Each structure stands twice: as C-alpha cells, then as structure tokens.
Homo-oligomer: A and B are copies of this chain.
Amino acid sequence: MKQLFVVGTGPGDPSLIAPKAREAIEASSDLVAYGLYMDLLGDICAGKQHHDLPLGEEIGRAKLALELAASGKTTALLSSGDIGIYAMATVVFELLDQQLQGQIDQPEWLEVEVEVIPGISAMQAGASRVGALLGHDFCTISLSDLLTPWETIDKRIHSAGAGDFVVSFYNPVSKKRDWQLNHARDVLLQYRPASTPVLLGRQLTREDEQVTITTLEKLDAKDVDMFTLVSVGNSESRHIVNGNKQWLYTPRGYKKKL
C-alpha cells in the first residue's frame, strides 16, 4: 500500500501530540515539513529522511509528499496545530482534485492512500491556557489576503461581528502585512464593547510562550507577530481575576438578545 499520513502535531508542547500522530510518524520513512516543526518534534523524527521546504513552499511540500508516497515510501506530511485548519491537508486535496480534473498529469498520486490525523489548533491551546474563551459559538478568520480578496475577508469580519461570534484571527500579521488586524479591530468595535476581552497568545505551549490579556479597544497590530494567535471574546465573554490568577471565559448561555 502506498501511504501518505497528513499529520497535525499540535501547538508545540510534545505532550499535546496525539499518540495516533506519533504512530504515523514512526511508521513513515520520510517526513516532509517546514524544518522548524521537525526541530520542535525532536526524538520522534530521528532516523527518518527529512525533506525540509521553506515557508511559502506549501504546494511544493504537498507535491513532494505525494510523489514520495506514490514511489512507495511511507510518508508523513507534517504541520503544527491541526493540519486540516489553514494548513497543508487542503493543499493535498487541491492537488488530487486537479489530477482528477485532468489539469495535471500525475495519475500515480491517485493510488496513494491518504489518512489525515487532526491535532490541537492554536485557538484551542490559547482558549484553554486562559480558561474557556471558546465556550460558546465561535469562528476563525484568516487575515491573509494572498489567496482571498480583501473584500471577502472584510465582509466576513462584519459577519462575525453581526453574529457576535468569538473570533480567532489566524495569520493576523506578516512582515509585509500589518494594517488588516487594526482594521478588523475597528470593524468588531462597531458590534461589541470596547472592553471585550482579547487574548494574545504567542508561541503557545512552547518554552518562550507569552500570554497577554487585553481589550478590543487596546488591541494593536504592533503587539502581534506571525507567531501570535489573536482571539477576541464575544459581547458576553468575561475577564475574571482571582488574586494573581486571571481567566477569560465565554458563558454557555446568551441572556441578551442581539
């Protein structure tokens, strides 16, 4: 059997990697990933052939993983978080779809058994780190306009505001892109209070983790980098302080009508 495992390795803490993900890596001879992820994984990746492609080479990584698997090498394509959420799993299926539509000529890819193994995503690591910020209806929005028109993203931020969803922003800023997050803040301020609690979680569950609790009004792109998760509470999310501990949570119920 020609096998490709598509594996999410969680937010960073090795004790949050599911045993099923670990088994898939162990069963593989070849690992394809952005190199930084493999460094984080440490021992599990020892003795495997590593194929390290840089950030930005997502399609190249997915193609390579399919090629290796199609050639008979059991292969694991890895990314941190949940590989199905803004990550590599979708790229693999985009390629298979293109092959099925005859847009490319790699029929051997269709013989590969693909298994996707989910992982814990950054929003979950962040929400649990500060309490229970995802306790009620929530959404995720990527602020990257590389592949999505900004008008679409803007409309989606308005919809998230109108629906009063807890919002987690993925790809909040990049080196070339810094104004979108402040714009998103200004949109949400049209729908929910300035005091709405916000979580900034940088390098969550890793050694250099930084967790900041702020408010929607004070959210500023200058405090955020590409390793930061930004989660904004809904209009009823609460910030509570017990001595030197503080928590954010979103109540289960919804007393107020919109």
Residues on A facing B (Cβ under 8 Å): 10, 13-20, 23, 82-87, 89-94, 96-97, 100, 110, 114, 116-121, 124-125, 127-129, 131-142, 146-149, 151-152, 155-156, 158-160, 162-165, 238, 240-243, 247, 249-254, 257-258
Q: Are A23 and B15 in contact (CB under 8 A)?
A: yes
Contacts of A93 in B (CB 8 A): 131-132, 135, 238, 240, 247, 249
A117 (CB) vs chain B CBs: closest residue: B128
Main secondary structure of the interface of A (DSSP, over half): mixed
Closest to A97 in B: B240
With A121-B124, A140-B138 known to touch, is A132 a contact of B18 (CB < 8 Å)?
Answer: no
- Contact (Cβ within 8 A) B165 A162: no
Question: A97 → chain B, closest Cβ, in Å?
Answer: 5
A-B residue pairs in contact (CB < 8 Å), sample of 11: A84-B128, A84-B135, A85-B135, A96-B242, A96-B247, A137-B141, A139-B140, A139-B163, A151-B257, A152-B257, A155-B258
What is the CA–CA distance of A16 and B156 in the complex, to the nearest angstrom? 32
Given the complex, which residues of B lie within 8 Å of A23, measured CB to CB? 15
Residues on the B chain within 8 Å of A14, using CB: 19
A214 vs B125: C-alpha distance when bound (angstroms): 32
Closest to A248 in B: B93
Residue in B90, B127, B238 whose beta carbon sits within 8 Å of that of A136 in the complex: B90
Q: Smallest CB–CB gap between A181 and chain B, Å? A: 15
